[in-house]
């Protein structure tokens, strides 16, 4: 036993050294960058705004992962395709409305329709996914539904590719949303305001729903203990479907926000945001709704600011290339010190 504890110490020491090295690099890099003074305050603020807007979208997608994870203890890998299905389908409507000029004249109604279509399609895909691919495997070992999810993810990607074609489709540009609000050094586009506000509203709404509503409480009960929840008269299947519906609708909404911000949609568009959102969910503490928000914001801001802040001062060429490497390194750092995420509780320690 003594030998064991000694070796455990060794690994702890190594971990500490890894952590300290990363921190040192971050601190030295940041100090050097700031000292060089190559970037203005306004540029830093801009970077933060970009990060928050991107982070909002990550957070919305992350909610889908976190909700399903909380209830089924499974990584719904195909959630990224739920996110893709909505805006990819709604594109045709948006394109038609954009060409006819309807969208510019009735912006609000037009956006509402696009949101409605996208959210509906994403929700339907999520429900079908649950019904066909996941429900029969509810009690299978963890890895089995994971593989099903991966398979479903491939299937959905290429299904939509076959349906709508492989090339990039471009959402119409909405001139109004390009207007800029200026507050001192801070510049925010209406579009960014829309994205951040819509995401925040939806997340707060979800939080209230889960905390206050009867269904929300039942969701929490099911997340904690399915058998006991069933003994309370809660229909587990129904709650799980509701979870997928909420996750799907949020992903559909996030998809439209994404499409408004970046304009391009195609069959593979969900893959990278999906991975990022899943990372955000873990970063914040998976199974935890506010955690998804925090994780999403953190990731968005790190991706935006990180490479410049940490690496520019160290004279690293093309640091933006390494933004994902930075994000994942910080993820490891966070998990070394908080093994269950920023806001995560002991859930990770529980046997999944």
Partner 1 sequence: MLSNPDRSYPIKIGLLSGVIAVLIALEGMIQAFGARDIIGGVISLGHALLYATFFAAAYLAIRRSGATRLVNTIFVGALSSLIASIFVIALVWLGSWTDLGYVFVNATQPLYELLTFKQGLVVGSLLMLIVGIVMGILAALTVALPAKTRQYILTPVIWVITLGVLQDLVTVTIQNMPFLKPVTNFLYVSNGLSIPGALTIFVLLLAINYFWLEKRSAAQNRYASLPPASRRAVRWGSIGIGVVLLLMLPQILGLYLSEVLDNVGLYLLMGLGLNIVVGFAGLLDLGYVAFFAIGAYTVGVLTSPELGHAVIIGNWWVALPFGVAVAAFAGILLGIPVLKMRGDYLAIVTLGFGEIIRLLALSDVLKPFFGGAQGTRSIADPDIGPLEMTWSPQSFYYLFLAGCILVIFVSTRVKNSRLGRAWMAVREDEDVAQAMGIDLVATKLLAFGMGASFGGLAGAIYASKLTSIFPHSFNFLISINVLSLIIIGGMGSIPGVVVGALALVGLPELLREFSDFRYLLYGAALVVMMLVRPEGLVPEARRAMELEEFREEEEPAKEPVVLKTMGQP
Partner 2 sequence: MAMLEVNDIHSYYGNIHALKGISLTVDKGEIVTLIGANGAGKTTTLKTISGLLHPRHGAIMLEGERIDGLPPHQIVMRGIGQAPEGRKIFGALTVLENLEMGAYARNDTAAIARDLDFVFALFPRLQERRSQLGGTLSGGEQQMLAMGRALMAHPRVLMLDEPSMGLAPVLVEAIFETIRKLNKEGTTILLIEQNAAKALQVASRGYVIETGQIVLQDSAENLRKSEKVRKAYLGEA
Partner 3 sequence: MKARFLFVAMLAVAIGLVVSACGPSTPPFQCKDKLGCVDIAPNDSVHIAYAFVTSGENSTLGLDTKYGAEIAVDDKGGKVLGHAVKFDGQDSGCNAEGGQTAATKIAADKTIVAVIGTNCSSEAVPGAPIIANAGLTMISPSNTAPYLTDPAKRAPGYFRTAHNDKVQGAAAAEFVFKQLKYTNVATIHDGGPYTEALANVFADSFRKLGGKAVVEAVNVGDKDMKPVLTRVAAGKPELIYFPVFIAEGGFICAQMRDVPGLEKTTMMGADGIFSPDFLKACGKNVVGMYFSSPDFSAFAGGYQALVDKYLKKYNQKSTLAPFHAHAYDAMNMFLTALENPAVTVKDADGTLHVQKQALRDVIAATKGFKGVTGNLTCDPTGDCADPKIAVYQVNADNFSSLTMPKNPIWKQGQ
- The option from partner 1, partner 2, partner 3, none interacting with 189 (CB < 5 to 8 A, set by class) reads partner 3
Minimum CB separation of residue 323 from partner 1 in Å reads 9
Please give the DSSP secondary-structure letter assigned to residue 288: -
- Residue 344 near residue 287 (C-beta atoms within 8 A): yes
Minimum CB separation of residue 223 from partner 2 in Å reads 8
Nearer to partner 1, 179 or 315 (CB): 315
- The option from partner 1, partner 3, partner 2, none interacting with 187 (CB < 5 to 8 A, set by class) reads partner 3
- The option from partner 1, partner 2, partner 3, none interacting with 39 (CB < 5 to 8 A, set by class) reads partner 3
- Residue 54 near residue 225 (C-beta atoms within 8 A): no
User: β-pairing, 169-170 with 180-183?
Assistant: unpaired
Half-sphere exposure of 58 (CA within 13 A, CB side): 32
C-alpha closest to that of 68 among 256, 248, 299: 248
Minimum CB separation of residue 209 from partner 2 in Å reads 14
C-alpha closest to that of 179 among 187, 163, 171, 190: 190
Instruction: State CA 283 to chain mean position distance.
Output: 11
- The option from partner 1, partner 3, partner 2, none interacting with 173 (CB < 5 to 8 A, set by class) reads partner 3
- The option from partner 3, partner 2, partner 1, none interacting with 130 (CB < 5 to 8 A, set by class) reads none
Nearer to partner 2, 195 or 219 (CB): 219
Looking up tokens 């992350």 gives 62
**Who's near 233: CB < 8 A, 6+ residues apart?**
none
Buried residues in 45-82 as b, exposed as e (16+ CB within 10 A): bbbbbbbbbbbbbbbbbbbbbbbbbbbbbbbbbbbbbb
Looking up tokens 């490479």 gives 307
Minimum CB separation of residue 325 from partner 1 in Å reads 4
Minimum CB separation of residue 37 from partner 1 in Å reads 23
Nearer to partner 1, 15 or 31 (CB): 15
Q: Helix, strand, or coil here: 350?
A: coil
Residue numbers at the binding site for partner 1 (CB under 8 A): 4, 7-8, 11, 14-15, 18, 69, 75, 92, 132-133, 136-148, 150-159, 162-165, 275, 278-279, 282, 286, 316-318, 321-322, 324-325, 327-329, 331-332, 335-336, 339-341, 348-349, 351-352
Please give the DSSP secondary-structure letter assigned to residue 318: S
- The option from partner 2, partner 1, partner 3, none interacting with 241 (CB < 5 to 8 A, set by class) reads none
Residue 195 tokens, joined: 């994205």
C-alpha closest to that of 223 among 55, 8, 66, 118: 66
Residue numbers at the binding site for partner 2 (CB under 8 A): 214, 217-218, 220-221, 224-225, 227-237
- The option from partner 1, partner 2, partner 3, none interacting with 147 (CB < 5 to 8 A, set by class) reads partner 1
Minimum CB separation of residue 49 from partner 3 in Å reads 9
Q: Helix, strand, or coil here: 343?
A: coil
Nearer to partner 3, 69 or 278 (CB): 278
Minimum CB separation of residue 59 from partner 2 in Å reads 21
- The option from partner 1, partner 3, partner 2, none interacting with 190 (CB < 5 to 8 A, set by class) reads none
């Amino acid at each position: 036993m003594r030998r064991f504890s000694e070796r455990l110490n060794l690994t702890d020491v190594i971990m500490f050294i890894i952590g300290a090295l990363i921190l040192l690099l971050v601190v030295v890099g940041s100090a050097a960058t700031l000292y060089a003074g190559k970037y203005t305050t306004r540029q830093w603020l801009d970077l933060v705004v970009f990060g928050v807007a991107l982070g909002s979208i990550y957070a919305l997608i992350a909610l889908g992962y976190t909700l399903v994870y909380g209830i089924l203890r499974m990584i719904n890998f195909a959630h990224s395709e739920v996110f893709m299905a909505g805006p990819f389908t709604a594109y045709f409507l948006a394109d038609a409305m954009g060409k006819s000029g309807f969208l510019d004249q009735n912006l609000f109604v037009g956006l509402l329709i696009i949101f409605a279509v996208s959210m509906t399609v994403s929700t339907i895909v999520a429900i079908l996914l649950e019904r066909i691919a996941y429900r029969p495997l509810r009690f299978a070992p963890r890895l089995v539904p994971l593989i099903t999810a991966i398979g479903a993810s491939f299937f959905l990607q290429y299904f939509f590719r076959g349906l709508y074609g492989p090339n990039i489709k471009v959402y119409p540009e909405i001139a109004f949303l390009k207007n800029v609000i200026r507050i001192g050094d801070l510049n925010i586009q209406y579009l960014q305001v829309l994205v951040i506000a819509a995401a925040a509203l939806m997340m707060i709404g979800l939080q209230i729903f889960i905390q206050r509503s009867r269904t929300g409480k039942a969701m929490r009960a099911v997340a904690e203990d399915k058998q006991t929840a069933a003994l309370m008269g809660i229909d587990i299947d129904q709650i799980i479907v509701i979870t997928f519906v909420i996750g799907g609708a949020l992903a559909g909404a996030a998809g439209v926000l994404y499409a408004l911000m970046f304009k391009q949609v195609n069959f593979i568009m969900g893959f990278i945001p999906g991975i990022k959102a899943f990372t955000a969910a873990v970063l914040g503490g998976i199974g935890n709704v506010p955690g998804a928000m925090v994780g999403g914001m953190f990731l968005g801001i790190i991706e935006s600011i990180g490479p410049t802040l940490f690496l520019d001062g160290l004279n690293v060429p093309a640091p933006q290339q390494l933004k994902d490497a930075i994000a994942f390194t910080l993820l490891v750092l966070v998990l070394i010190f908080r093994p269950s995420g920023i806001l995560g509780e002991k859930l990770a320690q529980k046997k999944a």
